């Protein structure tokens, strides 16, 4: 997948608000209201079933966020959107800071140990309470490597497509 085709999951439609087509939105952007600045949204209910939406209006409401999508004018139309993921094109996001990475940029990187042993490729990442975890797959096995820079993750070379980790290949 080329950089131009990459999408980033930024939120999800989680409920209904009122009867005029508004929806409740869960946002994973920082600050959470930033989700409304990243448009168009790519809504997906299943892989390969994306719908591009422009002109979203949104605002904080109570402890959450609500959004009004063009063409969705009643509760039934809004109900059809509940559960859909909200993606945006990667190029809409600001560049990450020093030693910061968007997960989507790490996915697909070749992972090798500090001794040069190939472990596989980054499949995906997930968050835990303590740190993020890199899931490395090589077809036969899956390894979970804590994404702690300087301890387990020694270097990330996005342009070279490689991550070097201090990790026992047998673990």
User: Within the chain, how many helices (H) and strands (E) appear?
Assistant: 2, 13
Residues 6 or more apart in contact with residue 36 via CB below 8 angstroms: 56, 57, 58, 59, 67
Mark which of 92, 115, 131 sits at the end of a domain: 92
Residue 128 lies in a domain: yes
pLDDT at 41 over 90: yes
Residue 170 lies in a domain: no
> 21 and 53: one domain?
yes
Give the pLDDT band of residue 48 (cuts 50, 70, 90): confident
pLDDT value at residue 166 = 98
| Exposure string over 27-49, b if 16+ CB within 10 A, otherwise e | bebeebeebbebeebbbbeeeee
Residue 97 lies in a domain: no
Strands 22-27 and 7-17: antiparallel
pLDDT at 69 over 70: yes
Give the pLDDT band of residue 150 (cuts 50, 70, 90): very high
Decide if 144 contacts 135 (C-beta within 8 A).
yes
> 79 and 48: one domain?
yes
Give pTM, 2 decimals: 0.78
Measure the CA–CA gap between 140 and 121, rounded to whole angstroms: 12
Measure the CA–CA gap between 15 and 61, rounded to whole angstroms: 13
Token representation of residue 76? 């039934």
pLDDT value at residue 139 = 87
Residue 65 lies in a domain: yes
> 134 and 64: one domain?
no
Measure the CA–CA gap between 139 and 160, rounded to whole angstroms: 22
Count of all residues that appear for the chain in the document:
171
> 10 and 86: one domain?
yes
pLDDT at 35 over 90: yes
Residue 55 lies in a domain: yes
Q: What is the mean pLDDT of residues 29-38?
A: 95
Question: What is the residue range of 116's domain?
Answer: 103-165
Give the pLDDT band of residue 2 (cuts 50, 70, 90): low
Give the pLDDT band of residue 146 (cuts 50, 70, 90): very high
């Amino acid at each position: 997948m080329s950089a131009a085709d990459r999408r980033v999951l930024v939120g999800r439609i989680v409920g209904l608000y009122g009867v005029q087509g508004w929806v409740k939105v869960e946002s994973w952007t920082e600050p959470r209201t930033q989700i409304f600045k990243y448009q168009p949204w790519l809504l997906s209910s299943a892989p390969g079933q994306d719908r591009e939406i422009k002109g979203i209006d949104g605002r904080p409401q109570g402890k959450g966020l609500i959004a009004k999508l063009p063409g969705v004018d009643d509760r039934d139309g809004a109900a059809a959107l509940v559960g859909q993921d909200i993606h945006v094109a990667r190029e809409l996001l600001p560049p990450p800071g020093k030693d910061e990475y968007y997960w989507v940029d790490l996915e697909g990187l070749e992972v090798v140990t500090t001794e040069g042993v190939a472990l596989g490729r980054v499949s995906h990442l997930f968050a835990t309470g303590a740190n993020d975890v890199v899931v490395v797959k090589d077809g036969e096995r899956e390894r979970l490597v804590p994404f702690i820079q300087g301890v387990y993750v020694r270097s990330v070379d996005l342009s070279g497509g490689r991550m070097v980790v201090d990790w026992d290949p047998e673990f």
